[in-house]
Structures are given as structure tokens and as C-alpha cells.
A and B are shown apart, each in its own frame.
Chain A
Amino acid sequence: MATETQSTVTAPAAVSAKQWTREEIEILLARIFKWALIAVFVLLTAFPFYWMLVMSVRDTTAVLREPTRLLPTLDELGRFTQSYEAVLDQFRFGTFIGNSLLVSLLVVTLTLLLAIPGAYAVTRLEFRLKNAMSWGILLVYLFPAIVIGIPLFVIYSKLGIRGSLPGIVIVYMSGTLPVALYMLRSYFQTIPAELEEAALIDGSGRIATIWRIILPLSVPAVASVALYTFMIAWNELLFAILFLTDSPNAWTLPLGLMQLDTQEVPRTYLMAGSVIITVPVIVLFFFFERFLTQGLTAGAVKG
């Protein structure tokens, strides 16, 4: 920044020596604008998460006394585990974390298990319904979730599986499968068919070919599908509200956190809960940012 202010200040003196072109003025202005906007965007996107962290260690009375304090006191930092322990013990967040992990990991595993062979079929094999299926996949993920929610609610109630975790895993899979198929398909299309043709001529079966040739080549695509599937299952709320509200033992993290949002519960605990649910996603994101960004654009992830 320092160099820019300097050049603005010296500009009038330089006019006589050198005529400023429109190009130069615009580049200068654009640069100032750019840095100002970067600051604004960083503030807009990162600050709420910083605030979440700060508020998760400051208790309500301290916040009411000094609502604009941007840093917690050392004393508050020293006692930071308090609110987290309260949330985990008093409000059963341990159970919710377990449920959410179970559901998310199951969704990831099963989605990959079905989507990899499915995507292979849609890219490499010839069959009559090929085009219909490829288009059907795309249409499915534009469907309004709330429209299928009500009939499913009725059927699940009748079958007596409404409060069960396997029931919700299948619902989540119906959302993740089409996108996973689509993402994997666009990746498989970039793998030259000659590679597997050689293996097929050598007498290797199709399934073995997928396992030994396609899969090792598709690690980045598989990783991004796994990551984004995990995120969808971990963050999902609508179906959790519809199906699990009556069965507190099956609550996932988002549902449990939502139920905590009442007048009686101190905001400190709410923020501690928010940190617990957000941190895994952010950590995964920073470790695998490359895969995730690729996946988000390749598959046009629903959100």
C-alpha cells in the first residue's frame, strides 16, 4: 500500500515531466480498488468464523458487559474448554457427533461403491438407455427436496423406519449418487480407452479392469467425490428435520445444534457447538483444497 500512496502524492509533480496515460491511471485505480475489495471480502468471509471462535469462549455476562471486545481476555482463553465440555456432556453432542460420522461415512462409502461402476457403465459401455440415463441423472438433482420430502415422510412413517439412520442414509444417497455419477463420468471421459482395451484383450474381466486400471488413474476424482459427498451428508438439515426430530437418539449434529437454539441455552454454548460442527469441514477443506475446488466446479455441487 505504501508505494501507491507515495505515487499518488508525487503524481502532480510528475505531470509536467511525464503525461499520465489513461492506461496508467486506470491500472493505478484498479489496483487501489482491488486491494480495498480484497480487504472487504476477507472481512466478510473470514470474520464471522473468527467471531464464532471468540464467542465460544466468552460467557454471556462478559459479552453483555463488553459486547464489542474483539479479543477474548487471557482469563477467558484459559477457561476455553469449559463451554466445549458443557456442550459435549450436558447436551449430548458426543452422540450427535457419532451419528453424524456414521451417516456421513456410510454415505461416502456406499456412494463410491455404486457410483464408480455406474459412471464406468455410462462412459464406456454401449446400451440403449444410455442417453436417457445420462440426462435423467442431471434432472434428478434439480428436483425440489421438499417435494419428495412429504411422500417420503408418509412412506417412512408407515414402514416404521422414519427415525432410523439407515433410512436417512438411503435418502442422502439419492441426492449424492447423481452428482457423483456425473462428476466421475466427466473424469472417466478423459482417460484414454486404449489403456483398458489392452487389459481386456489380455483376458481381464470388466470389473477387474475397473479395479486395476480405472481406479488407480482416478484417485483425484474419487477424492473430490468422497469429500463433497461427506460435506453434503455432514451439513444436511432438511431431511434430518423431517425424519429424525421425533427420535432424539438419532439426531445428527446439525439437527442437534438447531434444537439447542432456544432462549434458555447460553449463546456461548451455541457457538461452541457451531465450532465443533464447522471445524471438521474447514480442516478437510484446507488439506484437500485442490480436490475440492476441482470437484465443486466439475460437478456443480448442489447447495
Chain B
Amino acid sequence: MNEIPVLDYVVYAVVWACIGGLPGFYLFASLRRNPRSGARLGVLVGLVVGFGGVFTGLIQTPQDGASAAALVWISALAVGLLANLLQVGMGTHNQTVTMRQRTADLAYGLLLPTFVIVFAIVVFPMLWNFILAFRPVRLRDLQELQLFALNDLTTANFDRILAMRGFTDTLIRTLIYTLLGTVLAILMGLVAALIVKDKFRGRNLVRGFMLFPYIAPIVSVVLVWKLMFNAQFGLVNELSVMLGGARIDYLNTPGIAFTMVILFQAWRYFPFAFLFILARIQAIPEDIYEAAKVDGAAPSQRLWYVTLPQLRAVFGTLFLLRFIWTFNKFDDVFLLTGGAAQTKVITIEVYDQLFGARNVGTASAVALVLAAVLIVVVAIYFRWFLVEER
């Protein structure tokens, strides 16, 4: 321990405080005391025990974390119980609690576990990724890594990205893939919804089939696609050869492979669009159609002038959701081509940096670029969409 990593202390303080505060809150709540004072007491105990453990050497490596947490937990409970026995507390302990605060306390109590999990697994890593992207971290020196040090910040990771061959291509490809995949999936969903909207025999079965690509595990559907489009004995190739066509290695030929990746997106995710559009179509009141019919609108005109305008809002939502999810998607392309044959998208680049180049810092930097591009695109979309609405 040569230099004191400041951030370490901040992060640990937060962690100890949370670990101590949680049982404090629930203990006081169950004893019908003011949970807020219990939380406050617990936070204090957590900080004292946690940092006490670090300074006395009881807690040294992060692997001691579990036992340290248990220690903090037990101390917080013990101190809480003791405080209750002695009828002392933190500040508001003996004050009367208003009904309003009691309701709010109950709400916090019910939501705290969810909040802690989401914060620890989503929000905190997201923020920490910022710092990681500016640090020289490699996979092999993970064991010696000072988790939250701030003294080795560098822009080397971003320099490496800028020097990387084909990174701009990857970015542009990701945008094209996302845009086309999203639009095709929504169009397919629209067609599917239009053909099953009216009752017919076997409609439920057809509607069930429509959801198959979406609910089946990604690994198994990719394996079937790979088998069907196999160059040697794939069904598609065999059939096209029988019909006099050429044998094509669909998933390994540049250009064709990229088309396949986009078609796969459309095939796998159209059911999502289908469900939304179908629900909306079935909610369109029948009398609008009747009125259009009386005015002499033919079926194609009723589709164009009545149904489609009613679906505008759904298209907007679907486009936004699917765009974000497709942009973030990793497994589909990874399993189909692994990024070979000019199909590499930005999430694959993150993976390649992490496990191929074994460079954690650069991987975080690429991930940061991904998040930034996504935020910019969504911002543009909203701007455009809101202007359009006005």
C-alpha cells in the first residue's frame, strides 16, 4: 500500500454504509421504531466496522468482502438491538412519526432490495466504466489491480481505438445493420399483423407460430440457420442447386453474410413488432371503417388512410425500442458469424478487445463509444420526432 487510492475510500465508504444501513432500517421497522434513525445508526456502524476492519488488517483483499459484509451486518443488528434496549437512538428516535412518513418508509422498505440490486449491478458498473475506459488495465494483471485507483488515468485506450483499422467501418456498419434490421422487423410485423387480424380457421395456431422465432433460445435458432445455410449440405443450397442456382457460402461470403445477419434480425424480432401492431389494430374502432366505407373508400384506401395513420404512434415506439435493443445486441451476430466476413458490429468489437486482445481498458473504451453513439442517435430521434409532432 504505497499510495492511498482516494476513490477506493469513497467507494468502500458507500459500500459499508449501505451494508450497515439496510439491516438497521429493517430492524427498526420491525421493532416499530423509526426506520430512518435505524438506517442512520446502521450507516454509522457500517463505516466504523468497515474501516476499522481495513485499518486493523482484518479486511485485506476483496475476497474478504463476504466475511466483512457479514461482520458489518451482525454488528449493525447488534448495535441496533442494544440501542433499542437502552431506549436511545439517532435524533428522531423518540419523536412521533407522521402518517405520511410512515407510508413513505414502508415504500422505501419495499423497494430497497430492488434498488440495491439495480444500483450495484447496473448503475454503478455503468459509472465505473467511465473510469475504466481511461485506465491501462489488461486481463492478465486483474489480480493485482487496484480497483478504484485514479492515479494512472490515460487516454491510451482511445488512442488505440483511433489507430484501429476499420473502427469507423464497424461504426457505420453497426448503424446500417441496426437501421435495416429494425425497419425490416417492423415491416414484417406489420404484414403479419394484417394477415391475422381477421378471424379464420386455425388463426390461433398461425399466431402461435408467428411468435416462435422470438421466444426460442437464440443459440438453437442460430444453429438451425447455420445448418440450413451451410455451404456443403445446407437445405437452401441443395434446393437452389436443384433449381439450377449456384452454391453459395451464405454466412462466410462478405456482403452476403451481412445481408444474412440483417435478415436474421428481421426474422427473429418481427414477432415483437407483430404483437404490438396487432394489439393496436384490434383496438381501432369498427365505426371508423364503416364511415370510410360509406364515403366510398376501397379496402386498399381504408388500409392506407385509416389503418396506417392509426399505427403511427406504435411505429414510433417500436422503432425506438427495437433500434436501441438491436444496437446493443451482441449474441445474434456473435453466434452467426463471430464478426467474420465483414459483419463485425461494435458489440463484437468490445468482446474482441476483452478476450481477443485481452485488454480490459480498451474494451471499456469501445463500450463507452457505443453508449455515446447510442445516446446521440436517440437524442436526434427525439428531436426529430418532437419537431414532427408539433
Interface residues of A, Cβ cutoff 8 Å to B: 22-23, 26-27, 30, 34, 37-38, 41-42, 44-46, 48-49, 51-52, 55, 63-64, 67-68, 114-115, 117-118, 120-122, 125-128, 130, 133, 136, 140, 142-155, 157-160, 170-171, 173-174, 177-178, 181, 206, 231, 234-235, 237-238, 253-254, 257-258, 261, 267, 270-271, 273-275, 277-278, 281-282, 285-286, 289, 292-293, 296-297, 300-303
A146-B351, A150-B129, A151-B364 known; A118-B110 Cβ under 8 A: yes
- Partner of B367 from the list A147, A271, A277 (CB cut-off 8 Å) is A147
Residues of chain A lying within 8 A (CB to CB) of residue B192: 41
Complex A-B: 20 CB contacts under 8 Å? A27-B299, A44-B267, A67-B233, A114-B113, A117-B111, A118-B111, A118-B113, A125-B107, A140-B123, A144-B374, A148-B129, A150-B367, A153-B360, A154-B142, A155-B147, A157-B142, A170-B121, A238-B331, A281-B217, A282-B216
Interface of A is mostly: helix
A148 touching B62, Cβ below 8 Å: no
Residues of chain A lying within 8 A (CB to CB) of residue B300: 26, 30
The answer for the CA separation of A154 and B62 in the assembled complex, in Å, is: 12
Nearest A residue (CB) for B278: A297
- Partner of A285 from the list B195, B208, B223 (CB cut-off 8 Å) is B208
Interface of B is mostly: helix
B357 an interface residue at 8 Å Cβ cutoff? Answer: no
B318 to chain A minimum Cβ distance, whole angstroms, is 9
B145-192 with Cβ < 8 A to chain A: 145, 147, 191-192
A125 to chain B minimum Cβ distance, whole angstroms, is 4
A30-B299, A151-B132, A154-B137 known; A160-B63 Cβ under 8 A: yes
B220 an interface residue at 8 Å Cβ cutoff? Answer: yes
Residues of chain B lying within 8 A (CB to CB) of residue A150: 125, 129, 132, 350, 354, 360, 363-364, 367
B328 an interface residue at 8 Å Cβ cutoff? Answer: yes
B107 touching A127, Cβ below 8 Å: yes
A114-B113, A159-B62 known; A147-B126 Cβ under 8 A: yes
Known: A51-B228, A140-B118. 20 other contacts (CB 8 A): A26-B299, A38-B206, A48-B224, A64-B232, A67-B238, A115-B114, A142-B324, A146-B350, A148-B125, A154-B132, A155-B125, A170-B121, A173-B117, A235-B218, A270-B223, A270-B227, A278-B216, A281-B216, A296-B275, A297-B279
A152 touching B125, Cβ below 8 Å: yes
The answer for the CA separation of A26 and B370 in the assembled complex, in Å, is: 47
B328 touching A277, Cβ below 8 Å: no
Interface residues of B, Cβ cutoff 8 Å to A: 62-63, 65-66, 100, 103-104, 106-108, 110-111, 113-115, 117-118, 120-126, 128-129, 132, 137, 142-143, 145, 147, 191-192, 195-196, 204, 206, 208-221, 223-228, 232-235, 238-239, 242, 267, 269, 272, 275-276, 279, 298-300, 321, 324-325, 327-328, 330-331, 335, 347, 350-351, 354, 360, 363-364, 367-368, 370-371, 374
B197 to chain A minimum Cβ distance, whole angstroms, is 10
The answer for the CA separation of A99 and B275 in the assembled complex, in Å, is: 32
A237 touching B221, Cβ below 8 Å: no
A45 touching B219, Cβ below 8 Å: no
A118-B114, A150-B350, A278-B220 known; A68-B238 Cβ under 8 A: yes
B213 touching A293, Cβ below 8 Å: no
B330 to chain A minimum Cβ distance, whole angstroms, is 5
The answer for the CA separation of A146 and B354 in the assembled complex, in Å, is: 11
A41-B195, A51-B235 known; A274-B224 Cβ under 8 A: yes
B299 touching A125, Cβ below 8 Å: no
B272 to chain A minimum Cβ distance, whole angstroms, is 6
The answer for the CA separation of A147 and B212 in the assembled complex, in Å, is: 29
The answer for the CA separation of A30 and B104 in the assembled complex, in Å, is: 57
A64 touching B233, Cβ below 8 Å: yes
B209 touching A45, Cβ below 8 Å: yes
The answer for the CA separation of A121 and B112 in the assembled complex, in Å, is: 11
B298 touching A26, Cβ below 8 Å: yes
Residues of chain B lying within 8 A (CB to CB) of residue A286: 208
Residues of chain B lying within 8 A (CB to CB) of residue A234: 217
Closest 5 CB pairs of A and B: A274-B220, A174-B121, A151-B125, A127-B104, A144-B328
B328 touching A146, Cβ below 8 Å: yes
